[in-house]
Amino acid sequence: MKLFAIFGDPVSHSRSPLMHNSVFKHLGYPACYTRVHLKDGSKLRQTFFELGLSGANITVPHKEAAYEACDEIRGFANKVGVVNTIIEEDGKLIGYNTDADGFIYAISEFQSIKKVLVLGAGGTAKALAAKFLEEGMQVSVLNRSQGRLHFFKEIGCKVFNWNDFAIAHYDLVVNTTSAGLKDEELPAPQNLVESILDNVNYVADAIYGKLTPFLKLANQKGLQYKDGADMLLGQGVLANELFTKKELQKEDIKKYMHRSFSL
């Protein structure tokens, strides 16, 4: 029996155990998936091995710490320095990033996305901004302060803090901050958020399982929006493929993960 887990702070809200355990149960794969509340990201590697895990997902705020914890980084994670999926191979931790492809899957029904505004500058923002650029989109990043924006400027994004942001029209705005996860906060001052939402076609939030104040405001303005559920599903399917070394079929994984959302 293999053991998998999700690390985060907070983590009690995570639907990942329901999703992955639904796949393991219905497809007869000998594994179990649980939650690990981890406050100190520097303890991730130690905790992983102490628990005897075969793999793990990582959520906020530990995705950059997960990158540092790995012995080897593969694929898109190399580009962004952010890991959300870890696999154990011969005593080594191998890091991947499935967030970006999961998000592209999530917004596939939105039409003609060419200009994107990303709110926040953490691990999820890094993955999404880099992926949007790969897809040929123009990307701007807005963060409270200038301190964390260097990475985004280096890869070709326009960068702004709350004080120097000039309103422009965007096809899509994405909240990658934790605002609204444990509180009723907006990802930026209300007047700034209102102005952004008055100049955008589509809205997305990486948070799932609740209608955040950000999405409530988008709804009030009659905007088409998505929470992070489809992103969670998309990245989860890719992570489960890695967990099971592609012994399970992607469509079967997707089917039983999707079914878990009704539990």
Strands 55-58 and 72-73: unpaired
How far apart CA 36 and CA 32 sit, in angstroms, is: 13
CA–centroid distance for 8 within its chain: 12
β-strand partners of 204: 174, 226
Q: How far apart are the first and last CA of the chain?
A: 24
Q: Is 250 helix (H, G, I), strand (E, B) or coil?
A: helix
Residue 229 identity (one-letter amino acid)? A
115 is catalytic: no
Helix %, strand %, coil % of the chain (to 5): 40, 25, 40
- Tokens in use for 212? 């955040």
Catalytic residue among 2, 25, 39, 63: 63
CA proximity to 180, closest of 202, 210, 219: 210
How far apart CA 205 and CA 70 sit, in angstroms, is: 28
Helix (H) / strand (E) element for 138: namely strand 138-143
Catalytic residues: 63
